[in-house]
Chains A and B, each alone.
Chain A
Amino acid sequence: MSDTLLSVQGVETYYGNIRALAGVNVEVKRGEIVSLIGANGAGKSTLMMTICGSPQARTGTVTFDGEDITRVPTHLIARRRIAQSPEGRRIFPRMTVYENLQMGASLDNLKFFNEDVEKIFTLFPRLKERQAQRGGTLSGGEQQMLSIGRALMARPKLLLLDEPSLGLAPLIIKQIFDAIKVLNQEQGLTVFLVEQNAFAALKLSNRAYVMVNGQVTMSGSGKELLANPEVRAAYLEGGRH
Chain B
Amino acid sequence: MTNIANTSERAGGNLTAQALREGFYAGVISLGLFVLFVGLETTQNIRNELVINQRWGLLAIFVIVAAVGRFLSVAYLRPWAAARKASAAARPVDEEVSFFKRNFSKIAIVALLVYPPLMVMLFGVQGSLKWVDNFGIQILIYVMLAWGLNIVVGLAGLLDLGYVAFYAVGAYSYALLSQQFGFSFWVLLPLAGILAAFWGMILGFPVLRLKGDYLAIVTLAFGEIIRLVLINWTEVTKGTFGVSGIPKASVFGIWSFDVSAPNNFAKAFDLPMSSAYYKIFLFYLILALALLTAYVTIKLRRMPIGRAWEALREDEIACRSLGINTVTTKLTAFSIGAMFGGFAGSFFAVRQGFVSPESFVFLESAIILAIVVLGGMGSLVGIAIAAAVMVGGTELLREMTFLKAVFGPDFTPELYRMLIFGIAMVVVMVWKPRGFVGSREPTAFLKERKAVSGSFTKEGHG
Nearest residue in A to B325 (C-beta to C-beta)?
A75
* B120 interfacial contact with A, CB 8 Å: no
**B317 touching A90 by the CB < 8 A rule?**
yes
Chain A: interface residue total (CB-CB under 8 A): 38
Indicate with 1 or 0, residue by residue over A61-89, a CB within 8 angstroms of chain B CB atoms.
Answer: 00000000000001110110001101000
Q: Which of B313, B314, B325 has the most CB of A within 10 A?
A: B314
Which of A103-111, A172-180, A196-204 sits within the interface?
A: A103-111
Give A75 to B453 CA distance when docked, in angstroms. Answer: 32
User: Which of A79, A90, A95 is close to B310, meaning CB atoms less than 8 Å apart?
Assistant: A95
* B449 interfacial contact with A, CB 8 Å: yes
* B92 interfacial contact with A, CB 8 Å: no
Indicate with 1 or 0, residue by residue over A95-139, a CB within 8 angstroms of chain B CB atoms.
Answer: 110110011101101100000010000000000000111101101
**A98 touching B442 by the CB < 8 A rule?**
yes
Chain A residues, Cβ within 8 Å of B326: 75
User: Which of B313, B320, B454 is close to A78, meaning CB atoms less than 8 Å apart?
Assistant: B320
**B445 touching A86 by the CB < 8 A rule?**
no
Given A93-B314, A94-B314, A102-B307: A86 in contact with B459 (beta carbons within 8 A): no
Chain A residues, Cβ within 8 Å of B454: 96, 132-134, 136-137
Give A114 to B307 CA distance when docked, in angstroms. Answer: 17
User: Which of A79, A91, A93 is close to B323, meaning CB atoms less than 8 Å apart?
Assistant: A79
Nearest residue in B to A117 (C-beta to C-beta)?
B446
Chain A residues, Cβ within 8 Å of B315: 90-92
Nearest residue in B to A109 (C-beta to C-beta)?
B304
**B307 touching A106 by the CB < 8 A rule?**
yes
Nearest residue in B to A131 (C-beta to C-beta)?
B446
**B445 touching A106 by the CB < 8 A rule?**
no
**B453 touching A99 by the CB < 8 A rule?**
no
Indicate with 1 or 0, residue by residue over A123-159, a CB within 8 angstroms of chain B CB atoms.
Answer: 0000000011110110110010000001000100000
**B314 touching A95 by the CB < 8 A rule?**
yes
**A139 touching B462 by the CB < 8 A rule?**
yes
Give A121 to B49 CA distance when docked, in angstroms. Answer: 84
> What distance in Å separates the Cβ of B442 from its nearest Cβ neighbour in chain A?
5
* B440 interfacial contact with A, CB 8 Å: yes
Chain B residues, Cβ within 8 Å of A117: 446
29 A-B pairs with CB atoms under 8 Å apart are A54-B320, A78-B322, A78-B323, A79-B323, A83-B321, A86-B317, A90-B318, A90-B321, A92-B315, A92-B318, A93-B459, A95-B311, A95-B442, A96-B442, A96-B444, A98-B444, A99-B444, A103-B322, A104-B322, A106-B322, A132-B449, A132-B450, A132-B454, A133-B454, A136-B454, A136-B460, A136-B461, A137-B457, A154-B323
List 3 tightest A-B contacts by C-beta distance, closest first.
A134-B454, A78-B323, A92-B314
Tell me the B residues contacting A by CB distance below 8 Å. 304, 307-308, 310-311, 313-315, 317-326, 440, 442-446, 449-450, 453-455, 457-462
